[in-house]
Chain A
Amino acid sequence: MQIDRTLEPLRAVTSLFYPALCAVCHAPVTRGDYVCQDCLGKAQRIVAPFCAKCSEPFPGAIEGEFTCSNCAHRSLAFDAAVAAYRSRGVVRFVILQFKYSRQLHLRHPVAEWLLEAMNDDRLRDRNFDCVVPVPLHPARFRERGFNQAELLAKILGQRMNLTLSRPLERTRYTTTQTAFDRNDRMENLRGAFRLRKRIGVRGLRVLLVDDILTTGSTLSECARVLREAGAQSVFAVTAARA
């Protein structure tokens, strides 16, 4: 408390240089916040019913657990991919700013959304041995300067008291995903990831982390590699889902 009070003028000066403003609407926010309460309120939560495997929400009334038609048609290698928010509006805007405009500080609000997904029934009471970020190709890493999944995994690891592990590496610089349909994407990704030498995952319960789940192909391909290397289970968590 005492230290806090002496630091108060310093913080006031700091906020002159770096005023705390909402990343979306630029309204002043309390120090330490990045998005204002109004804008946070506009984030679209995923509510039941949704697919137990990929969290895709379903418009309508379905009682109990179900798997969506997309997941039924193909074999996804993860046990489940969980997200708490739709990647739309405020959420999408903040994540894109974080990823493409080098607004690294926005990893904090994005991580908050990620942490909310950890409260989902499918993850809440489960134990994990390590958090694994989806890797970035070295060329893309040089271009961007950071791996957004890794920054998120780091925060998640600290909060959940889990070790961060980087057993995967990306070997192919695949072109951006959006243009392919689902099956093409799976094909396109095959062999894009591989296990790094000397880092084992045998028998581990892995929590895979990424920023956005679009079709699940990337996460599934990562999960497949981890499974083949002997991982006991692979759950995936993302801040948002398309």
Chain B
Amino acid sequence: MRQPFVGLVLAAIIGIVVADYFPASTVSIFLIVIAGALAAWRWRFAPLVFAVVGATFFVLHSARITNTPADALAQIAGQQPRPANVTGIVTTEPKIEANGYATFLLKLRGAKIENQDVRTDATVFVRWRGRPNIGDELALFGTFQPIEAPRNPGEFDMRVYLARRDVKSLFIVRYPENGRILAPGSGFSVLRAATHSREWMQRILSRDIENSPDVVGLICGTALGLRHQTRDDIEEPFQQTGTLHLFAVAGLHVGIVARLLWTVAMVLRLPRKTATALIIPLLFFYAAITGLHTASVRAAVMSALLLGGIFFDRKVLALNSLAAAAFLILLFDSNQLFTSGFQLSFAVVGTIVLLADPMFVRLARIVAPDPFIPRVLLSRVQRIGIGVGRNLARGVSVSLAAWIGSLPLIYWYFYLVTPVSLVANLAVVPIAYFVLALAMLSLIAAPIWSGLSIIFNNANWLMSHAVLGLVHFFALLPAGHFYLSRFTESHTPIMITVLDEGTGGAAHVRANGYDWLIDCGGERNYERTLKSFLHRRGVNRLQGILLTHGDAHHIGAALETIADFRPREIYDNPLDARSSAQRRFRDAPGKPEPRLLFRGDSLLLGRNVHAEILYPPPNIKIRSADDAPLIARLVINEQIRVLFESDAGAEAEVSLLRSGDDLKSDILIKGQHHSGDSGTPEFLDGVKPRLIIATSRESPVAEQITEEWSSEIERRAIKLLRQDLTGAVEIQFRGEDWTARSYLTGEAFRSSKR
């Protein structure tokens, strides 16, 4: 056993994965494990040790995921919203949403659900418009709700994410006054102290540069890991250039801090063992300040083991230490294995440990000659050249190794491939080191002389601008990064995805290699829904976009979509609806001028996919945007017809029927007219669809599919997929056949009768 923890952690991972699929935690298994442990101790038989470790983690993980407090609570709270009074302690840093809600995890102490006392210590996910701090004890009145699964492909799966932290209920407090803080900071004294020092540090670091929020975000993100306060759009270019790790306080930071502390200790001439004993707790405190992310805990454990080597006078094996860190983290919380943070952190460091040195040796041979040539034989310039060359080789090999390690995971989780990150890291990481160092200097100087601290802050302002500038530059490089759909996804050349945008609409049409959008949903959903979806589909650039009408829930995100996906063609409804969404879009400067479409126009979306515009005719008068949306019909493989009715109402339907066009279509995709009056019997007679995909929402009333209407559809033997139940619907076309599939339920409807 040269690197004992490598084998141990592999055994642990196998145990956890098996337990995740087949959880079983009976007393007998537990007893077998104990017997095995005793036998392993007695006879020291290595395979038995691994078996015992694997079985131990199997039992641990089984116990962790079965019959948990959250399961018990979800059982009581049920699937319907139920009002309740609860008390509990805030266990995570509250994150403030744009709409003023604070979201955080609350470990319950007690609950009263519909006047019935419930004993529980489950943790719930809370949304409340109050301003609590971590460690506060709260009393709240609100409603329990189950956590919803994502309704569209590509959306972040909050349910799975929270389930890994054993959180299975959402608790919504509607009014700010329905909650109060009973006792500030009654739990978690260390975390509380960490939060306090972090708040102080944040004040110091943003002094005199408050009016550059991007810079403050970068500095605080880099030095303190305050990610929950930075806007997502600041982080995006970092993600696209593979440098997001700078923002997420991670291994690199803890490593740098450890080195800085070590240097300080050496300057102060502290004995090595004393220095070690001081630095290790400081590193863990730093990990706590920065929010105890897996990566920083991993780095703190590894640094502690590195320093511990001095205590025990032994060589420190990097791979063994890495495995030991993984082992300890999994022992503490086996669910970590399934988080992207854990996987990324260990994959990246693992490949650095395994690959960086061999690559460095090869690179160094190229850029710098044999280091054993006496240095005096070289001129000063040569020596500097060699020094630079070797450092460059070191940087390139670490960067390359990290890239190789992160590539598969970044691709799997974010559908993103970032060749540019190799260069970006080389350029940005050294400057980021200075940002961190200047932040430290500013913090050290602050209690002594605040003027000096402000000088450091201003120097940091400059450094941060360099980092931001570089990162934006690298993010803009063509082919520097691109999105790629998962290889496991179906790659049907022609498919339509009707997204669930609530009362709004957005549909993606893939036409033999060309990507089109028909509407793009609301502005507020854009990042979460449409953008994530297009990234998941591997869309880097749209061929075109059709904007059907001036409804904020249909075209609200048009500007964002155009900025991110640069469609080559933009088509708009010719009518002036005088809606604010349309005005915002039409008045925006610097965008390509959209072309207007009328009845009779025809577009080629891609080979075998045409769009015919059926509505509006020129010169009609309208009262509201819904009255005259662009109505387009796709003709696929020359025989399948898909009618996009958008939010058209009875008036538009009548006008379509009068026009004398053959409206017959296989699939009808419709929204709801604001009057609630659409999909009239006459219209259905004309269209004769086999499948209707329709939006539906409880409120407002007009947006909900009525009982009569749905029974009418049933009477006509038309298949109805209502999106309040199905979420997004994906239709794949093959020859004359097509299949529609609900994203939420997996229910499929096939055109062929086979």
Contacts and interface: CB of A to CB of B under 8 A. Distances in A.
B644 to A, nearest CB: 63
Secondary structure of the B contact surface, majority rule = helix
A48 to B, nearest CB: 31
A178 interface: yes
Given A17-B308, A26-B2, A103 B376 contact: no
Contact of B377 (A19, A23, A108, A179): A179
Nearest to B4: A16
Nearest to B309: A18
Contact of B5 (A16, A28, A142, A180): A16
B320 A17 contact: yes
B375 A19 contact: no
24 contacts: A16-B4, A16-B324, A17-B305, A17-B312, A17-B320, A18-B308, A18-B312, A18-B314, A18-B317, A19-B4, A19-B317, A21-B315, A23-B315, A26-B2, A28-B2, A104-B310, A105-B309, A145-B266, A175-B375, A176-B374, A176-B375, A178-B374, A179-B374, A179-B376
A14 interface: yes
B316 A19 contact: no
Contacts of B324: 16-17
Interface of B: 1-5, 8, 266, 305, 308-310, 312-317, 320-321, 324, 374-377
Given A17-B321, A28-B1, A176-B375, 19 more contacts: A14-B312, A15-B4, A16-B8, A16-B324, A17-B5, A17-B308, A18-B312, A18-B315, A18-B316, A19-B1, A19-B4, A19-B320, A20-B314, A21-B317, A105-B315, A145-B266, A176-B374, A178-B374, A179-B377
A139 B320 CA distance: 34
Nearest to A179: B374
Contacts of A18: 308-309, 312, 314-317
Contacts of A176: 374-376
Contacts of B305: 17
Interface centre among B310, B314, B316, B321 (most CB of A within 10 A): B314
Nearest to A16: B4
Contacts of B309: 18, 105
A21 B315 CA distance: 8
A21 to B, nearest CB: 6
Given A103-B315, A175-B376, A178-B374, A19 B308 contact: no
Contacts of A178: 374
Nearest to B372: A178
A16 B308 CA distance: 13
Interface string A78-113: 000000000000000000000000011100100000
Nearest to B5: A16
A183 to B, nearest CB: 16
Contacts of A16: 4-5, 8, 324
Interface string A126-145: 00000000000000001001
A196 to B, nearest CB: 16
B381 to A, nearest CB: 16
Contacts, number: 54
Contacts of B3: 19
A179 B377 CA distance: 7
Contacts of A15: 4
A15 B2 CA distance: 10
A104 B311 CA distance: 11
Contacts of A103: 315
A131 B324 CA distance: 41
Nearest to A107: B313
Contacts of B4: 15-16, 19
Contacts of A175: 375-376
B383 to A, nearest CB: 10
Contacts of A108: 313
Given A17-B305, A179-B377, A105 B313 contact: yes
Nearest to B317: A19
Interface in A1-28: 14-21, 23, 26, 28
A20 B8 CA distance: 17
Interface centre among A16, A17, A26, A175 (most CB of B within 10 A): A17
Contacts of A20: 314
Nearest to B320: A19
A19 B312 contact: no
A145 B267 CA distance: 10
A108 B315 CA distance: 12
Contacts of B8: 16
A185 to B, nearest CB: 11
The 6 closest A-B pairs by CB, nearest first: A18-B314, A179-B374, A105-B313, A175-B376, A179-B376, A16-B4
A14 B320 CA distance: 12
A238 to B, nearest CB: 21
Interface in A128-174: 142, 145
B374 A105 contact: no
A20 B313 CA distance: 10
B486 to A, nearest CB: 38
Contacts of B375: 175-176
Contacts of B320: 17, 19
A105 B4 CA distance: 20
Contacts of A14: 312
Contacts of A19: 1-4, 317, 320
A123 B320 CA distance: 43
Contacts of B314: 18, 20, 105
A144 B316 CA distance: 18
A108 B314 CA distance: 10
Nearest to A96: B372
Interface string A207-235: 00000000000000000000000000000
Contacts of B313: 104-105, 108
A57 B75 CA distance: 85
Contacts of B310: 104
B625 to A, nearest CB: 68
A180 to B, nearest CB: 8
B97 to A, nearest CB: 43
B5 to A, nearest CB: 6
Nearest to B1: A19
A17 B377 CA distance: 43
A15 B312 CA distance: 10
Nearest to B313: A105
